Structures are given as C-alpha cells and as structure tokens.
C-alpha cells in the first residue's frame, strides 16, 4: 500500500466516524470470527434511517461475516452493535428480527422443501398484522411468485429463488432489510430486475437497506457505501464517490 493510499484510507475512516444523519444501525469497533479465528477487525459502519447503503469488498473480505454479526448469527468478540439507538450486540437472530432487522442470506435463503407460499408465510412468522396484505405486496412486486405459490421452492430457478428470498425477508415488515449478495450468480437482465425491485421496496415500504454487493451494479442506486477489505472497513463514502475511490478501483474492480 502506498503512503497516498494509507492517507486516503485514514480520510475515509474519519468521514465514516463523522457521518451526519439519524443513525439506524451503528457498528462500532467489531471484532468477530469463527472459533479462535477472527475475520473482522475493529470494523465500524453506520447506516442511517431510510438510507440505501452498500457494502462491497473482494471475496473473503468478511462481508458475509459482518452481516452475520449484525443479524446475531455470529456473536462478536469485541465492539458494539446498536440499532435504533439501542445496544443489540449479543442478541440472537430472532431477537434482531423482533427489533426490525430482517436478513436475506446469500445462501440457504429459502426453505427448499416448502411451497412458495409457505416460504412467504414463514417470513411473516412473527408478523402481527394481516398476512394477506404482505402477500399482496410481494406478489405485486414479483407476480411470478403468485403464479407459482404452490410450487416447491427448491425446484425454482436461481432468479426466482432470489425473488422469493427477498420477499420472504420483506414479509415481516421490517425497518431494515439486510441483503447478502442478492444478485450473485444471476443473469444481467435479472440483476437489474432484482435491484429495481429492491429499490421499489425501499420506496414503498420506507425501508432502510444494507446490501452486500458483488458487482458495482448496486452502487449507483445507493446513498452510501463501504469497502471492506481483509476484515476491515477501509472506505466509507457517498456512493456516487465510491467508484472514483482509488482503493475501490484497486482492490475491487482490478484498478
């Protein structure tokens, strides 16, 4: 790393710490991992209420681990996670959902042995309101799910699975939707469809979105972005400036 890069990294980090706006999710100095091996080191980020934030980084950077730490699957060794001003660091995934954070994992994100409709109903397992309204919402967004409501989810195509996974995460009417690479492995036209659907959801449901992106496609529609590298948040900046960042270019898009 050149001295210029280090300086830029420091400036970016300072900018993260000095963010304005009403924070909904705050991750502060989180160190976490699996067993004795840490994969996240002193990671800090903030997602403001109503914001669309992206988290980018190369393979193995720790993006999924950070998501799993936020949603309670991984218990961090150090640091703090706050949601809506309340400390939620050691809460279980079910407790995080009760707080309003719904996660759509990258893999294993649907109940393959269950029908499409049952998947959606399981997404609304803790939802207290009328489930029909939520079903209508996701069926309007992804009409194919209504057509295939009785189909076993495991028999659906990759794109349809992602639509179902996003819908499942939305059924509970969360305040924040965390999506781990929802467009991974999809055809380009489907990537656009899925990202537009997420954008629509954000507007219609007044959702806060944190999206882990494998490609740069999601960055233009985001408000704020973070770059995670080797378990550390090294850049936090407005999304429209993210693609111009030298570290992002060097580390993520190959310079």
Partner 1 sequence: MLGSILDGIILGCTITLGGLGISYVLLLQNYFNFTGGTFFTLGAYLTFAFLGFIPMGSFPLVTFGPGLIISLILAMIAMGLIMTVADKLLYRPLRERNAPFMFFYLTAFGMLFVLRSIIYLVWGAQLKNYVAGIPRYLRGPLGISITWDEIFVLIATVVIVAIVYFFQYHTKLGKGMLATANNSELAEISGIRNRDINTLTTVIAGILTATGGVFYGLTIQLRPMMGFTLLMAMFFAVVTGGEGAILGTFGAGLIIGITQEFGSSLLQMLWDATGVPIQMGGYKATLSFLLLVVILIFQPQGIFKGTPLEK
List residues near partner 1 by CB under 8 A: 71-73, 92-94, 96-98, 102-103, 105, 108-114, 118, 121-123, 125-126, 168, 172
Rounded least distance, CB 124 to partner 1, Å: 9
In the bound state with partner 1, the residue whose beta carbon lies nearer, of 14 and 113, is 113
In the bound state with partner 1, the residue whose beta carbon lies nearer, of 18 and 35, is 35
- Percentage helix, strand, coil, to 5, in the chain? 40, 25, 35
Q: 144-151: which pairs have CB atoms within 8 A and are 24 or more residues apart?
A: 145/116, 145/120, 148/116, 149/115, 149/116, 149/117, 150/115, 150/116, 150/117, 151/115, 151/116
Residue carrying the six token digits 């994969």: 39
In the bound state with partner 1, the residue whose beta carbon lies nearer, of 177 and 191, is 177
Query: What is the Cβ-side half-sphere exposure of residue 143, based on CA atoms within 13 angstroms?
Result: 0
Rounded least distance, CB 133 to partner 1, Å: 17
Rounded least distance, CB 119 to partner 1, Å: 8
In the bound state with partner 1, the residue whose beta carbon lies nearer, of 173 and 215, is 173
**Structural contact between residues 168 and 109, judged by C-beta atoms closer than 8 angstroms:** yes
Rounded least distance, CB 178 to partner 1, Å: 9
């Amino acid at each position: 790393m050149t001295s210029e890069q280090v300086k830029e990294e420091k400036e970016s980090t300072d900018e993260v710490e000095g963010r304005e706006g009403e924070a909904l999710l705050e991750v502060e100095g989180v160190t976490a991992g699996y067993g004795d091996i840490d994969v996240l080191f002193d990671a800090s980020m903030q997602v403001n209420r109503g914001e669309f934030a992206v988290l980018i980084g190369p393979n193995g950077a720790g993006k999924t681990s950070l998501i799993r730490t936020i949603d309670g699957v991984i218990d961090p060794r150090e640091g703090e996670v706050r949601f809506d001003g309340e400390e939620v660091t050691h809460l279980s995934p079910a407790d995080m959902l009760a707080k309003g954070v719904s996660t759509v994992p990258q893999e294993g994100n649907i109940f393959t042995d269950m029908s499409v409709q049952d998947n959606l109903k399981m997404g609304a397992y803790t939802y207290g309101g009328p489930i029909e309204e939520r079903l209508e919402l996701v069926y309007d967004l992804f009409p194919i799910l209504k057509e295939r409501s009785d189909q076993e989810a495991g028999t659906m195509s990759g794109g349809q699975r992602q639509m179902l996974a996003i819908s499942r995460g939305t059924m509970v009417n969360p305040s924040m939707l965390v999506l781990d690479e929802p467009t991974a492995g999809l055809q380009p036209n489907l990537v656009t469809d899925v990202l537009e659907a997420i954008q629509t959801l954000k507007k219609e449901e007044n959702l806060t979105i944190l999206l882990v992106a494998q490609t740069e496609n999601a960055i233009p529609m985001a408000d704020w972005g973070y770059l995670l590298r080797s378990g550390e948040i090294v850049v936090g900046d407005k999304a429209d400036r993210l693609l111009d960042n030298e570290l992002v270019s060097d580390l993520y898009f190959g310079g």
